């Protein structure tokens, strides 16, 4: 007798296994995620995914260990759909209703993806004509329930976000310092990335303009303004409003996503997953997401 599967539950399970195998088949495991040793051997398969055993600590692990979806009870298809909705800037409520997950789960998934994207979003260097601008925003304590923290932070301080774009298809957008212009912090975190032969094109800030004059010396080049730096503030303000504001402690994660959305390279959610989310250690535990880390 042929058994029917009207709700296609077995099909969904099979599809999930195939998706996971496809995503992890090219993931390179260089070291043991537990002790860091590079001495490991192949140790069979589990659901078609290669497993390994460390020769030093004797622990077993696989290509899925410390990946974005590690320990998730939801299937790969749900994660895929969530990533697509996230690239479309859908709200947490919309994602939760669409995928039948809680708003809390949607929040943590968003931040797992944002954390993974922030791992390597900052370019190592900026070359050619480097356009530099700044945005000043107020501190945000969105979601904070500690009245003492909110009271001690009144009035809210200014956060300086520096944006820079060179010839590479990458951008530097980071919160660099608080309160007022900090020359030492700027030199350490921004200017150190600019190659000596580069030409700095400042955008509407006297402090950055003085840095450009000193760097360019007597050289003067007529360049068109880079629109992503020139209109950084209105674009960033509009983008942040989609999320109804962003808490300052999460700001860098969101800026990493903003950078990807503004690159020349056209990517869809599948490119994002293969190129950005499945390389190296992208895992962050749920309880670590809300821990306040240094903004700078």
pLDDT tens, position by position, 26-35: 777 788 888 8
Is 253 found in the same domain as 141? yes
Task: Report d(CA 167, CA 169) in Å as an integer.
Answer: 7
Q: Give the total number of structural domains in the chain.
A: 2
Tokens of 279: 């390389």
- Structural domain includes residue 148: yes
Is 159 found in the same domain as 233? yes
- Structural domain includes residue 248: yes
Q: How far is CA 44 from CA 21, 35, 50, in A?
A: 14, 20, 6
Is 146 found in the same domain as 33? no
The residues, any chain, with a CB within 8 Å of residue 19's CB and separated by 6 or more, are: 76, 77, 80
pLDDT tens digits, the chain, 296 residues: what are they? 334 444 445 445 556 666 666 666 777 778 888 888 888 888 888 877 788 999 889 988 887 787 777 777 788 788 888 988 988 888 999 999 999 999 999 999 998 888 888 766 678 889 999 999 999 998 887 877 666 666 666 678 899 999 999 988 888 999 999 989 999 999 999 999 999 999 999 998 899 999 999 999 888 888 888 999 999 999 999 999 988 888 888 898 899 889 988 888 777 666 776 666 666 566 677 767 766 555 66
Is 38 found in the same domain as 145? no
Count of beta carbons in the 10 Å neighbourhood of residue 77: 14
Is 147 found in the same domain as 53? no
Q: Using the 3D structure, point to which of 65, 85, 110 is the last residue of a domain.
A: 65
Q: Phi and psi at residue 119, in whole multiples of 5°? A: -60, -40
Q: Which of 213, 217, 161 is nearest to 186 (CA)?
A: 161
- Structural domain includes residue 105: no
- Structural domain includes residue 119: no
Is 170 found in the same domain as 50? no
> Max alpha carbon distance in the chain (Å)?
87
Q: Report the predicted TM-score, pTM, of the whole model to 2 decimal places.
A: 0.79
- Structural domain includes residue 138: yes
Residue ranges making up the domain that contains 177? 129-267
Is 245 found in the same domain as 158? yes
Q: Using the 3D structure, point to which of 20, 43, 65 is the last residue of a domain.
A: 65
Is 162 found in the same domain as 57? no
- Structural domain includes residue 120: no
Is 251 found in the same domain as 146? yes
- Structural domain includes residue 83: no
Is 216 found in the same domain as 135? yes
- Structural domain includes residue 164: yes
CB 167 within 8 A of CB 128: yes
Long-range contacts of 58-66 (CB under 8 A, 24+ apart): 59/32, 59/34, 59/35, 61/29, 61/32, 61/33, 61/34, 62/24, 63/24, 63/25, 63/27, 63/29, 64/20, 64/24, 65/29, 65/33, 66/33, 66/281, 66/282, 66/283
CA–centroid distance for 214 within its chain: 33
Q: Using the 3D structure, point to which of 32, 48, 65 is the last residue of a domain.
A: 65
The residues, any chain, with a CB within 8 Å of residue 108's CB and separated by 6 or more, are: 286, 289
Is 261 found in the same domain as 174? yes
Q: What radius of gyration, in Å, describes the C-alpha atoms of the chain?
A: 23
Is 263 found in the same domain as 133? yes
């Amino acid at each position: 007798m042929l058994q029917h599967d009207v709700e296609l539950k077995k099909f969904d399970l099979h599809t999930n296994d195939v998706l996971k195998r496809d995503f992890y088949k090219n993931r390179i495991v260089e070291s043991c995620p537990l002790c860091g040793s590079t001495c490991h051997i192949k140790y069979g398969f589990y659901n078609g995914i290669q497993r390994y055993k460390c020769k030093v600590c004797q622990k077993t692990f696989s290509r899925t260990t410390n990946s974005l979806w590690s320990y998730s009870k939801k299937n790969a298809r749900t994660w895929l759909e969530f990533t697509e909705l996230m690239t479309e800037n859908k709200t947490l409520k919309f994602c939760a209703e669409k995928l039948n997950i809680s708003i809390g789960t949607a929040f943590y998934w968003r931040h797992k993806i944002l954390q993974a994207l922030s791992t390597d979003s900052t370019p190592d260097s900026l070359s050619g004509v480097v356009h530099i601008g700044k945005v000043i925003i107020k501190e945000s304590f969105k979601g904070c329930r500690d009245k003492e923290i909110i009271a001690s932070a009144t009035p809210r301080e200014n956060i300086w976000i520096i944006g820079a774009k060179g010839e590479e298809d990458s951008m530097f957008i980071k919160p660099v310092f608080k309160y007022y212009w900090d020359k030492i912090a700027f030199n350490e975190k921004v200017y150190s990335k600019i190659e000596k032969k580069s030409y700095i094109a400042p955008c509407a800030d006297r402090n950055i303009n003085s840095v450009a004059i000193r760097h360019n010396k007597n050289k003067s080049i007529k360049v068109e303004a880079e629109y992503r730096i020139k209109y950084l503030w209105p674009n960033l303000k509009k983008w942040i409003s989609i999320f109804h504001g962003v808490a300052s402690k999460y700001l860098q994660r969101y800026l990493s996503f903003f950078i990807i959305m503004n690159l020349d390279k056209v990517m869809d959610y599948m490119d994002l997953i293969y190129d950005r989310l499945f390389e190296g250690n992208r895992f962050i535990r749920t309880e670590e997401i809300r821990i306040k880390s240094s903004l700078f």
